[in-house]
Chain A
Amino acid sequence: MHIPDGFLDAKTWLSLSILSGGILAGALKGLKAGRIRGRIPLIGMTAAFVFAAQMLNFPIAGGTSGHFMGGVFCCILLGPMTGFITMSMVLIVQCLLFQDGGLTALGANIFNMAFLGSVCGFYVYLFFRLMFWGDRTRPFAYALASWFSVMLAAAAASFELAFSGTIPLKVVLPAMLGVHTIIGVGEAIVTTVALMTLWKIRPELMKVLKY
C-alpha cells in the first residue's frame, strides 16, 4: 500500500505532508514532555522490530506471499502516540533506505498507515473494549481493529489517488478495498494470534506497557 512518487499531485501530497508533519511534531513534543529516557531505546527497538517482522512472510496461494504490518499491534502495546511515532519512523526509513513508498508520498503514507491505520485502528479497539468489557472479547477486539485499520488505510489511499486525478474513484475504491479485504483478514489473524500469545505467556508485559 506504499504509494510511490508520481501518483499524487502537488496539492494532495503537499497538504498531507504538512498534516502528517504537524501530527508527528506534536507527538514528538508529547513524548518529550513525558519520561523519555528509558523510552528511547524501546521506541527505536520496536521500530526495528516492526521492520524485521515485516520481513517474515507466509505463502498465500498462487506464488504470492503476505506479511504483517503491525500498526495496531504497536499502538495497543505502546499507546497511540508512541505507536504513531514508531510507525512513522518505519515508513520514513522504508522510504529513504528501501525506496518503498515515495518521498513526496511520504506524508500521505504516514497519514494512511501510521495515523489512520494505526492510531484510528487503536481507537476502534478501545471503543470495542469499552463497549464489551471482559477478557473474552479481547480476540474479537484485536481482530476487528486490525481489519479496520487495513481497510481504512486502503480507502484513504484510494481517495487520495482519486483526489489527485490519477484514477477515478469508482475504479480505484472497489479495486483497493477488494484486495485489502483479504489482506486485512491476514493481518487480523496475525495480530490477534500475536497479541493473544503475548497475553498468555507474558501478561505482565502487557500490563507494563499499559494497554
Chain B
Amino acid sequence: MHHSYLDKFARGNSLIHHLDDRVKLVVTFFAVILIASTPQPGKIFIGGMAAIVLFLSLFARIPLGYLLARSAIILPFSGFAAVTYAFTIPEGRVLLQIGSYVLTSHAVEMGAFLLLRSGLAVCFMIILINTCPFDRLLSALRSLKVPALFILLLAFFYRFLYLLWDEAERMQRARNLRYFGGRWKQQPALLGRLVTALFIRSYERSERVALAMQARGWDGESWPIKVSPLAHKDILYSLIGMTLLISLWMLRRF
C-alpha cells in the first residue's frame, strides 16, 4: 500500500481536527470560492490568504513540504494554461519571442499570479481533507442536505477505492515484472487488457457484495445522520474565519 498519503494527517489531534466538520467544510468552501472568483486580486489578498494557509497548516501540524508536494497536482493543467496565457499579453518588456508570440515581463508576472491563485485554493482543500477524514466529510455533506442515495454511493466508492487501487497496483507490478519495456506502441493495447481484467474483477466483487448485503437484510438505502449541535469553539472559529475572509475580500484591490 502506497496510498495512505491521500489523507495522511486526517486523524491528527489538534484543535482544528476537533472542530465541527460542517463548520470546516463551509468556511473552506467559502475561502475557495472567494479566491476563485476574485479577478486580479491585489498583494494583500494573496498575502493574507497565504498567511491563513500557513497558519492553518502549522496549527494542524501538516508539514509544509507535504502541502507543497500535494499541490503540485495542479501543475499539468495550470502550468499549461499559465504558459498559454502568458503568451497572450502584449504589454511590458519583451523577454522572449517565438514566431509571432511574445513573452513579456508583465505576462510572466500575470501567469505566475494565476498559478499562485489556484495553488492557494488547492492548499485550502488539502488542509480540509487532512483535518477531516472522508467518512466524516460525507456525514457533514449529508447534514448539509446532499441526497442520501448519493452519499451512500460515494461511501461505497470510498469503501472499495483502496481495495481496487491495491489490485491495480499489483497488476501493474506484475506487468512491469514480465514486460521488459518493449515497444511503446504496444503499451496502450496492453493497458486495455489490464483494464478489462480489472473491470471483470470489480464487477464480480460487486455482485458478491450485493448478495451478501441482501442476505444480511439490507433495506436498500440508509445513511445515519449524526447531527450534533455546534459548540462555542465551532461558532467562534466560523465567526473569526468568515470575518477574516470577508475583510481580505474587501481589501482585494490593494
Determine if chain A interacts with chain B: yes
Can you spell out 25 A-B residue pairs with CB atoms less than 8 angstroms apart?
A7-B118, A8-B36, A28-B150, A38-B214, A41-B156, A42-B207, A44-B153, A44-B157, A45-B202, A47-B157, A48-B159, A48-B163, A49-B199, A52-B165, A56-B191, A56-B198, A92-B154, A96-B125, A98-B6, A99-B70, A99-B73, A99-B125, A166-B85, A190-B189, A193-B196
B206 at the interface (CB under 8 A from A): yes
**A43 to B136, alpha carbons, bound, how many Å?**
21
How many whole Å from A145's CB to the nearest CB in chain B? 15
A18 at the interface (CB under 8 A from B): no
A190 touches B188 (CB 8 A): yes
A58 touches B81 (CB 8 A): no
**Using an 8 Å CB-CB cutoff, how does the interface string of B110-134 with A read, 1 for contact, 0 for none?**
0000100110011001100100001
B88 touches A171 (CB 8 A): yes
Stretch from B58-66, B166-174, B233-241 forming part of the interface with A: B166-174
**What is the number of residues of chain A that contact chain B, defined by CB distance less than 8 Å?**
80
| Cβ-closest chain B residue relative to A24 | B150
A192 touches B192 (CB 8 A): yes
Q: Which residues of A contact B207 (CB under 8 A)?
A: 41-42
A48 touches B202 (CB 8 A): yes
Check A89/B192 contact, CB under 8 A, given A48-B160, A103-B29.
no
B77 touches A58 (CB 8 A): no
B contacts, CB < 8 Å to A? 6-7, 29, 32-33, 35-37, 39, 70-71, 73-74, 77-78, 80-81, 84-85, 87-88, 114, 117-118, 121-122, 125-126, 129, 134, 137, 147, 149-150, 152-161, 163-165, 167-169, 171-172, 184, 187-196, 198-200, 202-203, 205-207, 209-210, 213-214, 218, 220-221
Q: Which of B171, B188, B196, B218 contacts A66 (CB 8 A)?
A: B188
